[in-house]
Amino acid sequence: MNSFGQKLRFSTFGESHGTAIGCLLDGLPAGLQIDETYIQSELDRRKPGKSEFETARKEADRVEILSGVFEGFSTGTPIAMIIYNTNQKSKDYTNIKDVFRPGHADFTYFSKYGLRDYRGGGRSSARETAARVAAGAIAKLMLDKLNISILSGISEVAGIASDTFDYEKAKSSIIYALDASKEQAQKDAILEAKNNHDSVGGVSRVLIKGAPAGLGQPLYYKLDGVLAEAMMGINAVKAVEIGDGVLSSKVLGSQNNDAIRANGFESNHAGGILGGISNGDDIILNVYFKPTPSIFQEQHTITKDNKEVDFALKGRHDPCVAIRGTVVCESMAALVIADMLLLNMGSKMDGLVSYYK
Amino acid sequence: MNSFGQKLRFSTFGESHGTAIGCLLDGLPAGLQIDETYIQSELDRRKPGKSEFETARKEADRVEILSGVFEGFSTGTPIAMIIYNTNQKSKDYTNIKDVFRPGHADFTYFSKYGLRDYRGGGRSSARETAARVAAGAIAKLMLDKLNISILSGISEVAGIASDTFDYEKAKSSIIYALDASKEQAQKDAILEAKNNHDSVGGVSRVLIKGAPAGLGQPLYYKLDGVLAEAMMGINAVKAVEIGDGVLSSKVLGSQNNDAIRANGFESNHAGGILGGISNGDDIILNVYFKPTPSIFQEQHTITKDNKEVDFALKGRHDPCVAIRGTVVCESMAALVIADMLLLNMGSKMDGLVSYYK
Amino acid sequence: MNSFGQKLRFSTFGESHGTAIGCLLDGLPAGLQIDETYIQSELDRRKPGKSEFETARKEADRVEILSGVFEGFSTGTPIAMIIYNTNQKSKDYTNIKDVFRPGHADFTYFSKYGLRDYRGGGRSSARETAARVAAGAIAKLMLDKLNISILSGISEVAGIASDTFDYEKAKSSIIYALDASKEQAQKDAILEAKNNHDSVGGVSRVLIKGAPAGLGQPLYYKLDGVLAEAMMGINAVKAVEIGDGVLSSKVLGSQNNDAIRANGFESNHAGGILGGISNGDDIILNVYFKPTPSIFQEQHTITKDNKEVDFALKGRHDPCVAIRGTVVCESMAALVIADMLLLNMGSKMDGLVSYYK
Amino acid sequence: MNSFGQKLRFSTFGESHGTAIGCLLDGLPAGLQIDETYIQSELDRRKPGKSEFETARKEADRVEILSGVFEGFSTGTPIAMIIYNTNQKSKDYTNIKDVFRPGHADFTYFSKYGLRDYRGGGRSSARETAARVAAGAIAKLMLDKLNISILSGISEVAGIASDTFDYEKAKSSIIYALDASKEQAQKDAILEAKNNHDSVGGVSRVLIKGAPAGLGQPLYYKLDGVLAEAMMGINAVKAVEIGDGVLSSKVLGSQNNDAIRANGFESNHAGGILGGISNGDDIILNVYFKPTPSIFQEQHTITKDNKEVDFALKGRHDPCVAIRGTVVCESMAALVIADMLLLNMGSKMDGLVSYYK
């Protein structure tokens, strides 16, 4: 249940303030060159403490590969990666030991398990997503061999929406902003919330380029369905769109259908997916993050013993979890596409026969 | 890959114009009274041809149980259900044999499999969803024993949105409208599109009442993630929201957090799920359907041989696929909740020990 | 839980005396020609009532394909197959309604589910294996395209063991005997037991020819492990050997190792599998069946109310379940190999890259 | 594919001569007290270098828990355990870099993956089984709460078979011998083979006591089938029996059936499993290990370039891999039973309803 994917499956472990977090990546084809520098560079994109727009917790997030790689190449056996926690301050959390933070998973974990690791949210902390990024980096290395790329950026913060989606711009922006003309306003919104001991929501837009037509396993491991699960499963995500998404529910069929010409589709309202299967066009997702639930204003809540208290959180938190979240969206998208590529290999008899010739 | 669920798993089979469609429901506890009249009544809610707002194809959708039920009760073995197709007119489809209909899965199925059953969309037809409704009806019977109910209705058609969500009203509305004051305008929009040989999109809102806190298997079989996959995997769905969804990305943390009091949450922006686990409150989903891609206006497309043609579709189609789709949303929600209830049974040692005492 | 296989997955349904039994075969590549005559011929090999060595229950076992095949070829969607029960005599079983037959699953199903379909063993009846044979026949059609064949026969009945393994001979033997010189003695043993209202055990030997090296997913979906599960899961099987099996535990390493030469292995003690992966040599299994538990002698048993009774079974039963069981062994072996071929397609990066070129 | 189990799932990673080996155990109920001393004691039973009957490679096999345990109790999140390799001597293996050792997985891994970690067998080494023992120890802690125990011992070495099965005796025997009267002869056989640069096979007998009736998910996750897979998947295992196993194929039904009385079964030929479901009696398995393929005599083999060579292995190896293997059998049995207990929780409606009350 802490695993994702069918043929390329990753499993993660670890708590925010435990010894370490990490993952297993199982099912990766043998013979892929594993560029550890690249994996680390992906983790560096997600790691906390890089700017005032992020939590002040500083983690080196140094990843170590424990298995599955020999002489620089994947061997086909599970790749275990580990990231030791170095900057956990568990004592920060003794004050929330018996209190359920509003908007957090404290209450639900306690309901489900009867106990919880209260230190920094334990397993439910977004810290776990570092392990996804490590796995996703390897998936990206695999996709690169097939000329498939995964790009993303922040399209909206606190309702301030981008008019353009410049993925190159996003790479160099400290908040991964897709629209240079909106970046400053978005930064201001984050800092204003932060100064008010509050937080803001945001939106990540993900673009998958170069995916061949035919990916997705209908009817219950569809590409859009699995991408939706992958994104909705990221901490703080509350909505997912494919292509035009919500908008497509408001228009006419004649407006929404993508006409087809000999050299491709005339438009891409579908976001690259028809009937749950990729159509060869760009795959486009919008992923909506709620504001970080960790705020420093006083809130109504209860204790484990169901006593009502007014409670103001302390600690170190991202004022806009969508920012670092966009890197996680990319990683999850990469893992989904890599899995689908492997699953799709058996879809035609002639492909099977030629494989074994 | 044509299966859904972990512990309660259903698998479907069948094509729009094949001999039959049907499903297997595996993992249902033994001893549940199986009310066949109820199952049929659920299928009747989804079946086509009931009004001018739906396709003119008439199917009785009589479901027959082939196995897994003995003397009126589930036995713990797979329940196979079959629905014979009776009103297929395959010859309607010879004109699309070599043409890819825009907005449909024709192109992608052909890309993936190298051939396709072109009769009415074959496997990719929404006709398959009758099998989901049959399985979902049994899931609802199971949920009923735990006082959990699944409700839904149409909250929006062609951009005409409901202000109120009256699930009782929806039951008696021919278009399952949630807001009586908007129903006529929504109907008009559907008929106007139909008269223009066009189609419209719409939105289904799903309410799950009575689910206990603790459902959902973090971190990769989360309740919200699985609901998102279940909904996004329904034909024509392009976006899914949990709780406030898109809106939550635009607001502050202090606005979005649900404060907690001794008798429950003060608000429900979260839609009943925190950290991927149910919190005991109502679970709320919005599911966005694109307009039916089947329209009768002339469109640009290509043939299997990549020749460009202008093509106007014939046949019988729903002008607004969201209407009947809302019944499918309910069914999928019921199946997810039932699965999560079963999966959750092993979450605590004391629950395990007392079970085997 | 009523499904088997990862990438090629079949699911079965149905009870011995219900309306029908059948299966879904999911994950089959598109474009395989489906020879229905061949599928029926495989079912005919397993069907009951062909001779005095089998149960007197006569079932036509006519299989009908409901989905997944279009114009004679697989489409990549689930193939549903159904076999209606025609010769069930449920009233034969009213006398066992409240009694647990020794050696049968009556007691355990009742323990697990709290109720049971007592008619002919319900779901636990070997009748269900007809569905496996239908699925296995399609797997064999797929394997045939890769020049892989699955053969089997009866190597032992009631302790009377074959000295030679003549798979061609087995095809024409009414008891599928592998050794012509032992066939008569084996037949005599079966009839003697039958006349004494008793039953005998037997052994099926399975040979898989032409499987390429590299099949099997270490470490927990190994080829030998999955074959063992597949065989042990057949009704009445109590032991499974790969290659020399039990014998290899009694010898020295220098005797058991298979030396390797440029053109292959010098011996095949390993039975074609090393480290859970096929080595390109013949894969050999021995599958041990207990005597049919249905005997007509009086036995000690209890009722549902835990009352002791002496009980003599009536009805129609195979005196040696291994005979028809060998066809089921073949089918399961075919399904395992087909699944492993599909799973193995992603094991090397260069295979992946060339597939998508 | 490097994972085992459905509801309680463990995944392992690591190579014989890599940095570390380890496992993830996912799905364990929250609230189980985790006794680390006990886990280490189980690893100590399997660890190498304890006597002349085992490989001379000394590994401390110190296990460290990285996650999933908080204040001494399981939290319901994945338990990651790591064992660092300390005594690997990779240079021992440069001489086998290009040679396929007979009886080993060298040839098949190379066939499958196109490359291999040749150091000590890499992933295919029995060293990986330490991770299974760590996971199995936690499963045993869980089973202990339900008064289920897993015992085992060596019943046969080199054809020298036990007449009695004394599991208490086995605990104190350096070769885990079940029959004190055969222990010395068994030891002598091992040392004689060792002195001849050869190896011997052996048999482990496993006893599961206290398992309730009802475990096992028919029809394709049967208890016997899954136990067979679990055992056959252990390095060097070539045959698995349940109960009387091979013997049951040689006898009459009247001899093999276990009569039932009000207080239980009169015999246990079935080995505690009927129809794939536990019957409440002792569950008994026999697991047959081939002789260690690593022998120091000269053997025929080939190189990666398909050149024939005569080759004598060097290094450190167990002369009888069954000895330490019996501990692994216990661990796998414990993991299977624990998984089945969790899976079985949803088998009856009344169990479900009372769970959620």
DSSP codes joined into one string, A209-264? ESPPTT-SBTTTB-HHHHHHHHHHTSTTEEEEEETTGGGGGSSBHHHHS--EETTE
- What CATH number does domain D3-356 carry, 1.10.1740.10, 3.40.50.620, 2.60.40.1180, 3.60.150.10? 3.60.150.10
CA distance linking residue A14 with residue A126, whole number of Å: 11
The answer to whether the beta carbons of residues A20 and C343 sit under 8 Å apart is no
Is pLDDT at A91 greater than 80 in this prediction? Answer: no
pLDDT digits (tens, 9 = 90+) for A142-175: 999 999 999 999 999 999 999 999 999 999 999 9
User: How many C-beta neighbours within 10 Å does residue D47 have?
Assistant: 21
In our burial notation (b when 16+ CB lie closer than 10 A, e otherwise), range D345-357 reads: bbbbbebbeebee
Structure confidence at residue C230 (pLDDT): 98
Helices of type H across chain A: 36-46, 106-113, 129-144, 167-172, 180-195, 223-232, 253-256, 322-343, 349-355
Is the reported ipTM for this assembly greater than 0.95?
Answer: yes
With H, G, I as helix, E, B as strand and everything else as coil, classify residue D249.
helix
A219 prior amide bond cis, ω within 30: yes
Q: Which of C352, C353, C354, C357 to mutate to test the interface with A (most CBs of A within 10 A)?
A: C352
Residues of A in contact with C142 (CB under 8 A): 349, 352
Q: B11–C19: do the CB atoms touch at under 8 Å?
A: no
Say whether pTM exceeds 0.95: yes
Tell me which residue of D328, D308, D277, D265 sits closest to D132, measured CA to CA: D328
pLDDT bucket at D316, cuts 50 / 70 / 90:
confident
CA distance linking residue D336 with residue D240, whole number of Å: 15
Structure confidence at residue D187 (pLDDT): 98
What ranges make up the beta strands (E) of B162-282?
202-209, 237-242, 260-261, 264-265, 273-274, 277-278
Q: D350–B32: do the CB atoms touch at under 8 Å?
A: no
Distance of CA C73 to the CA centre of its chain: 26
pLDDT digits (tens, 9 = 90+) for B184-225: 999 999 999 999 999 999 999 999 999 999 999 999 999 999
CA distance linking residue D154 with residue D326, whole number of Å: 7
Tell me which residue of A19, A54, A143 sits closest to A321, measured CA to CA: A54
CA distance linking residue C89 with residue C16, whole number of Å: 10
Distance of CA D251 to the CA centre of its chain: 30
List of chains touching B (3+ CB pairs within 8 A):
A, C, D
Q: Which residues contact B263 (CB under 8 A, 6 or more apart)?
A: none
CA distance linking residue D270 with residue D151, whole number of Å: 18
Distance from CA of A294 to the nearest CA of D (A): 22
User: How many C-beta neighbours within 10 Å does residue A91 have?
Assistant: 9
The answer to whether the beta carbons of residues C350 and C241 sit under 8 Å apart is no
Q: C351–A352: do the CB atoms touch at under 8 Å?
A: no
Helices of type H across chain D: 36-46, 106-113, 129-144, 167-172, 180-195, 223-232, 253-256, 322-343, 349-355
pLDDT bucket at A6, cuts 50 / 70 / 90:
very high
CA distance linking residue A182 with residue D200, whole number of Å: 74
Structure confidence at residue A57 (pLDDT): 82
Which of B29, B145, B218 is opposite residue D346, by nearest beta carbon? B29
Phi and psi at A6, nearest 5°, equal -100, -55
pLDDT above 70: percentage of residues in chain B: 99
Mean pLDDT across A56-83: 95
Is pLDDT at D239 greater than 70 in this prediction? Answer: yes
Instruction: Share the mean pLDDT of chain C.
Output: 96
Tell me which residue of A203, A208, A207, A48 sits closest to A128, measured CA to CA: A48
Distance from CA of C226 to the nearest CA of A (A): 17
Q: A242–B262: do the CB atoms touch at under 8 Å?
A: no
Per-residue DSSP letter, B27: -
Residues of A in contact with D26 (CB under 8 A): 1-3, 11
pLDDT digits (tens, 9 = 90+) for A208-239: 999 999 999 999 999 999 999 999 999 999 99
Residues of C in contact with B64 (CB under 8 A): 19
Structure confidence at residue C198 (pLDDT): 97
Instruction: Share the mean pLDDT of chain D.
Output: 96
Q: A123–D75: do the CB atoms touch at under 8 Å?
A: yes
Structure confidence at residue A90 (pLDDT): 62
pLDDT bucket at C179, cuts 50 / 70 / 90:
very high
Distance from CA of D257 to the nearest CA of C (A): 5
pLDDT digits (tens, 9 = 90+) for B61-110: 999 999 999 999 999 999 999 999 987 766 667 788 999 999 999 999 99
Structure confidence at residue D4 (pLDDT): 97
Sheet with D3-4: list strands edge to edge: D3-4, D9-14, D20-26, D79-84, D63-65
Chains C & D: contacts with CB separation below 8 Å: 368
Q: Where are the domains of chain B?
A: 3-356
Per-residue tokens: A244: 């035009």
Residues of A in contact with D128 (CB under 8 A): none
pLDDT bucket at B316, cuts 50 / 70 / 90:
confident
Burial zone of A267 (CB within 10 Å; 0-12 exposed, 13-18 middle, 19+ buried): middle
CA distance linking residue A275 with residue A246, whole number of Å: 17
Is pLDDT at C67 greater than 80 in this prediction? Answer: yes
The answer to whether the beta carbons of residues C313 and C296 sit under 8 Å apart is yes
Structure confidence at residue B90 (pLDDT): 63
| DSSP one-letter string for D90-112 | GGGGGGGTTB--TTSSHHHHHHH
Residues of C in contact with D307 (CB under 8 A): 262
What sign has the CA pseudo-torsion D98, D104, D110, D115?
negative
CA distance linking residue A333 with residue C70, whole number of Å: 34
With H, G, I as helix, E, B as strand and everything else as coil, classify residue C299.
strand
Per-residue tokens: D260: 């039932």
Residues of D in contact with C279 (CB under 8 A): 107-108, 111
pLDDT above 90: percentage of residues in chain B: 90
Distance from CA of C80 to the nearest CA of A (A): 15
Q: What is the Cα Rg of chain A in Å?
A: 21
Which amino acid is it at D344? N
| Minimum mean pLDDT range among B154-163, D153-162, D310-319, D339-348 | D310-319
pLDDT digits (tens, 9 = 90+) for A98-128: 999 999 999 999 999 999 899 888 999 999 9
pLDDT digits (tens, 9 = 90+) for D70-127: 999 999 999 999 999 987 766 667 788 999 999 999 999 999 999 989 988 899 999 9
Q: Nearest-CA residue of chain A relative to C141?
A: A349
